[in-house]
């Protein structure tokens, strides 16, 4: 825990205290009763990029994100020791850092505060919560899919019996249409199981670059004339253990997603492969992966991109940004599920106006 109780006087400090304040990793700040900055230590520059000289005399609110300004004003106006709060502080490059503050009034009426940059911790918390939510949705999806699979299997069995025992052509036509609908439902259930990582895969050793080249003609036909597909494949062979048929469906889904994102305006889809090393104890997007060498496949487009909120939910089954008339929201969850079952991981980089890149990591095999 960090505390402001060690700061009892506003600057200027005794020389030895100034050296101490300069060496601490936390932000130390002194404000006058109106919230203007009297002093910040060098850690403020490390966190925000603003030098102490640049911010001295300015209102601290000038560097607080708009949604947090009113709450920050209220806390400063109280002029009493607070138990801690967080706000978004604008950095010099325009980004925002999450800072946890504690404040204490000084004897001369000024306010002393200590702040800690907790941006990384909050991002990790958000990823963990998103992971728990995704796991819950996957579990629910898988359970429903298994139940529907059993129901559909019974229905299809009875329909096939009906086809065999009836000779009347009109009735057989009705049975056939019902069977076709049932088989379509079965395919949907298989997609749900794949998204929930509960699909039965036929895993085999496949050279990833060769798989992509064998798909190239079919992929080009699927997205033309709305998109152009290019390849940048690592010259060294990269063998992975995957269900080749399901991986082809996954890659095709990604390219079709890109094509639909172009909204008829045309664009470029680039597929690239490269080797990557994941170290033991890796965190963030590599958390949970076994250490070792991986094949990295990136499917990138120059489409409109997606906001951060959409990216955070892309792998949730049935989540879609295109409305219910433009798909079931199972494409990306299908990709995520197939890759996860093969021991890999998937993540997305995207920003509005900057296109979308879907990254796939698969363990390399000798």
Q: Which stretches of 196-314 are DSSP H helices?
A: 208-223, 244-261, 308-313
Query: In this model, does residue 135 exceed pLDDT 60?
Result: yes
Q: 């199972």: which residue's tokens?
A: 330
The average pLDDT across 262-280 equals 90
**φ, ψ dihedrals at 192, nearest 5°:** -65, -40
Instruction: Give the predicted TM-score (pTM) of the model.
Output: 0.54
Residues in the chain: 366
Confidence (pLDDT) at 167: 76
Q: Report, as an integer, the average pLDDT of 232-261.
A: 87
Look at residue 325 and tell me whether its pLDDT is greater than 70.
no
What whole-number distance in Å separates Cα of residue 364 and Cα of residue 205?
Answer: 10
Pairing of strands 227-232, 267-278: parallel
Sign for the pseudo-dihedral over CA of 50, 52, 58, 63: positive
Exposure letters 317-353 (e unless 16+ CB within 10 A, then b): beebeeeeeebebbbbbbbbbbbbbbbbbbbbbbeee
**Cβ atoms 260, 228 nearer than 8 A:** no
Cβ(103)–Cβ(113) below 8 Å = yes
Q: CA angle 199-200-204, nearest 5°? A: 120
User: Confidence band (pLDDT; 50, 70, 90) for 236?
Assistant: very high
pLDDT higher than 60, residue 122? yes
């Amino acid at each position: 825990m960090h505390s402001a109780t060690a700061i009892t006087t506003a600057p200027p400090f005794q020389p030895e205290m100034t050296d101490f304040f300069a060496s601490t990793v936390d932000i130390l700040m002194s404000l006058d009763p109106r919230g203007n900055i009297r002093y910040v230590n060098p850690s403020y520059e490390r966190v925000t990029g603003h030098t102490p000289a640049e911010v001295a005399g300015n209102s601290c609110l000038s560097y607080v994100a708009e949604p947090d300004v009113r709450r920050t004003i209220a806390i400063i106006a109280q002029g009493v020791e607070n138990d801690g709060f967080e706000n978004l502080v604008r950095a010099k490059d325009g980004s925002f850092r999450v800072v946890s503050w504690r404040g204490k009034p000084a004897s001369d009426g000024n306010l002393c505060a200590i702040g800690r940059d907790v941006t990384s911790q909050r991002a990790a918390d958000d990823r963990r919560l998103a992971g728990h939510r995704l796991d819950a949705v996957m579990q629910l999806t898988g359970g429903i899919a298994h139940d529907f699979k059993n129901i559909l299997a019974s229905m299809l069995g009875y329909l096939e019996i009906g086809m065999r025992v009836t000779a009347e052509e009109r009735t057989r036509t009705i049975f056939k249409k019902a069977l076709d609908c049932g088989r379509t439902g079965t395919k949907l259930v298989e997609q749900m199981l794949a998204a929930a990582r509960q699909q039965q895969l036929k895993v085999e050793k496949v050279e990833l670059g060769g798989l992509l080249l064998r798909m190239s003609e079919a992929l080009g036909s699927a997205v033309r004339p709305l998109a152009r597909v290019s390849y940048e494949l690592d010259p060294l062979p990269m063998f992975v253990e995957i269900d080749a048929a399901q991986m082809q469906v996954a890659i095709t889904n990604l390219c079709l997603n890109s094509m639909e994102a172009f909204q008829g305006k045309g664009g470029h889809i680039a597929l690239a492969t490269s080797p990557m090393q994941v170290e033991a104890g890796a965190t963030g997007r590599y958390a949970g992966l076994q250490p070792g060498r991986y094949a990295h496949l990136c499917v990138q487009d120059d489409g409109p991109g997606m906001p951060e909120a959409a990216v955070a939910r892309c792998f949730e089954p049935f989540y879609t940004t295109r409305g219910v008339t433009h798909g079931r929201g199972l494409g990306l969850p299908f990709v995520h599920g197939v890759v996860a079952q093969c021991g890999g991981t998937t993540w997305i980089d995207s920003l509005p106006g900057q296109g979308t890149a879907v990254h796939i990591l698969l363990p390399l095999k000798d």
